[in-house]
Amino acid sequence: MVGQTIGHYRLLDKLGEGGMGVVFRAQDMRLGRCVAVKVLPPDKVADPARKARFVQEARAASALNHLNIIQIYDIDQSDGVDFIVMEYVPGRTLDQVMGRKGLSLAGALTYAVQIARALAAAHAAGIVHRDLKPANVMFTNEGVVKLLDFGLAKLTGPAETGEFDSTETQKADTGEGVLLGTVAYMSPEQAEGKEIDARSDIFSFGSLLYEMVTGRRAFQGETRASTLAAVLREEPKPVSHWAPGMPREAERLIRRCLRKNPAHRFQHMDDLKVALEELKEESDSGQLQSEALPPRARRRIGLWIGLAAGLVLAAIAAVKWNRLLTSRPAPEPAFTRLTFDAGLSTDPAVSPDGKLLAYASDRGGGGNLELWVKHLGGGEPIRLTRGAEDILEPRFSPDGATIAFRWERDGGGIYTISSLGGEPRLIAKHGRRPVFSPDGRSIAYWVGENLVGGRIFVVAAHGGEPLAVQ
């Protein structure tokens, strides 16, 4: 079909093929932009259930407006050919990014947080993906995750049938006894053809994360049947078996996702997303301790440490005894909830004086993330920005007067705005993760093809010519 025209889309080259259709890179001849067109093969149009699922993919995905979910532009039919037009994402899939050895924990957590955010948004809309696998996770050239292929999505919320809706569309909802998805990443309940909910995606996510950090599938057999059997009855080897030094917290999180019983997993993707964000923060700050040494080596080193410690034990004991006599117990930490937004709230940043909280939230109702600031002393958050594209990664200047952030507008870039409000100012194109220098005169930011590579640039806080420093 390459070279043909469907509707007003000219098919340029084939990008991939799966059970639900063939994907082409195409030219939108009306708008002059590059798009991806997914075509349902003619020999499968006769299958009403498959065609209904094809239509359902467009309806499910088009209802989701999120940075990490592929955007659907159109669904149409031309000369008997059904097709979906969607955002074209130049980049690589997760299986291409992680290769055979997997990713570093830091890289895996960075990607996993974005995938979790996409799934949390889908689940909030009542949509279960059902086919989460490496080939359905794409990365843009800037390392932004895009979740693809809702062709097997199941609407879990109440179906609304309008005056002009065909009730035949509802047949796309697969019930008990129908097996859909990719075997190695299925949940046990999905593998048995049972009715599923969002916890099935959590199991599949666990399988994906396991492979991201180990380079090996959690469940793998020589045949489809043996792989299904492994999903249903076998426990994968501990992550640390393949990735020595894996922190216990990360291994515990993955193990909980992979519980056979859905009741024993994380119950909501939002909870899993928060747990991943906390792990990522600890990993980025160096607080996440790895189990780097095997037991024998730890015991051997422990003997030497014990001998050395014995020489100074008396002196240390005397000092500690004196401190115990004079010190008071440390107060119990108190946790205070700062935001109460109904939707997504992410990327918090506290001003240097500890009085303001800047964060990204979709509480404005437009479906995209905007920049909000809240006084920690109380009161309602203040909206600083208005636009159609997501705003992420706010950071305060050292004096707290300015906030730098990433805005997805016009391909994305670094902007600044007064913490009291005003007009955003473009500082640098194509950057992300802005950080002010200690004197507030410069902003460092990152640019690259994926989140485990790239280069660091520095630009004056008022704008100018960026300087590459790495």
Q: Is 151 helix (H, G, I), strand (E, B) or coil?
A: coil
DSSP code for 185 = G
Q: Is 169 helix (H, G, I), strand (E, B) or coil?
A: helix
Give the span between the Cα atoms of 255 and 243, in whole angstroms.
Answer: 14
Give the CA distances from residue 79 to residues 6, 76, 96, 131, 234, in Å, rounded to whole numbers and listed in that order: 8, 10, 35, 30, 48
Measured on CA atoms in the order 458, 460, 463, 465, is the torsion positive or negative? negative
> How many CB atoms sit inside 10 A of residue 33's CB?
12
CB 460 within 8 A of CB 440: no
Element (H, E) at 255: helix 248-257
Q: Which residues are catalytic?
A: 131
DSSP code for 409 = G
Element (H, E) at 190: helix 188-191
Give the span between the Cα atoms of 189 and 262, in whole angstroms.
Answer: 8
Element (H, E) at 33: strand 33-39
Give the span between the Cα atoms of 98 and 211, in whole angstroms.
Answer: 9
- What tokens does 292 get? 């780097």
Give the CA distances from residue 270 to residues 55, 163, 326, in Å, rounded to whole numbers and listed in that order: 28, 34, 45
Provide the CA 63 distance to its chain's centre, in angstroms: 18
Provide the CA 437 distance to its chain's centre, in angstroms: 28
Query: For residue 366, which phi and psi values (nearest 5 degrees)?
Result: -85, -5
HSE, CB side, 13 Å, CA atoms: give it for residue 387: 19
Torsion of the alpha carbons at 352, 356, 357 and 360, rounded to the nearest 10: -110
Beta bridge partners of 444: 435, 458
HSE, CB side, 13 Å, CA atoms: give it for residue 155: 22
Which residues, at least 6 apart from 109, have a Cβ–Cβ distance to it below 8 Å?
250, 276, 279, 280, 283
Q: Write the burial class of residue 430 (CB in 10 Å: 0-12 exposed, 13-18 middle, 19+ buried).
A: middle
